[in-house]
Amino acid sequence: VLYHVLEGTLKLLHPFMPFVTEEIYQRLPGERSAIMISSWPKEIKREDREAEEGMSLLIAIIQEARMIRSEMRISPKKKIELLIRPSHRNKLTILKHHKYYISNLVGVGSILIDRGLSRPPESASSLVDGVEIFIPLKGMVDIEKERKRLISLTNELTKKLALTRERISRPEFKTKAPPEVVERKRQEEKELRMRLQRLEKRIEEVS
């Protein structure tokens, strides 16, 4: 049942999360073609919201851990240590059951999932739907070098955000620019704010 739910959920999520879903799909047992050309899941009357929520949580954690790797420029060749602290027992069970997929898709050498974990020193962290993840950075990156790089990048994005906000606030821009251009700039401003928030968190973690 779990296998069937996982396969169907991956197909449904593929248009929105193409890369992660394709990687998980190709690691399922048996020979298979690309998920893009696979048959669409058939409608079933019985719903299993618990299984669907579990798969969504799994994908979100994989994406977040990979995002941290990217932000901290951890070499893809390096196997990281990953610590996961779920807030609820049911999430602990789900994550332990699927830790094989997490390890393979994140590039993990050592994974520990426990509700009693403490955050290690010099580690990057994130919170995903009540689940905290920690990636120790010692030995993975040059922490001082990364701190300087993150500060420099933050300064660049801060200037870019200020320019974007200044343009959006101009009365002539709001009245003369096509609606799709205005919306695109607003979306750009939102994405810049989110990136800056993440970078500021990473700087705090390595300071």
Give this prediction's pTM.
Answer: 0.70
Residues 14, 100: one domain? Answer: yes
- Statement to judge: residues 124 and 147 lie in one domain: no
**Based on the domain organization, do 96 and 177 belong to the same domain?**
no
**Residue 7 pLDDT level (bands cut at 50, 70, 90):** confident
CATH number, domain with residue 151: 1.10.287
- Alpha-helix runs per DSSP H in 76-178: 89-97, 99-106, 143-169, 171-176
> How far is Cα 198 from Cα 140, in angstroms, rounded to an integer?
19
Q: How far is CA 205 from CA 69, 136, 201, in A?
A: 14, 10, 6
64-68 contact pairs (CB < 8 A, 24+): 64/126, 64/128, 64/133, 65/102, 65/106, 65/126, 65/133, 65/135, 66/20, 66/105, 66/106, 67/126, 67/198, 68/124, 68/126, 68/133, 68/135
Same domain, 120 and 151: no
Residues 36 and 73 in one domain: yes
User: Model confidence over 47-84: pLDDT tens digits?
Assistant: 667 778 888 999 999 999 999 999 999 998 999 999 99
Among residues 89, 119, 136, which one ends one of the domains? 136
If one counts every other C-beta atom within 10 angstroms of the C-beta of residue 13, the result is 19
Q: Which domain holds residue 80?
A: 2-136
Same domain for 118 and 45: yes
The Cα 16–Cα 6 span in angstroms is 16
Same domain, 85 and 32: yes
Statement to judge: residues 42 and 10 lie in one domain: yes
Q: Which of 21-35, 39-53, 66-80, 129-143 has the lowest mean pLDDT?
A: 39-53
Task: State mean pLDDT over 98-126.
Answer: 93
Phi then psi for residue 40, to 5 deg, are -70, 140
The total of structural domains in the chain comes to 2
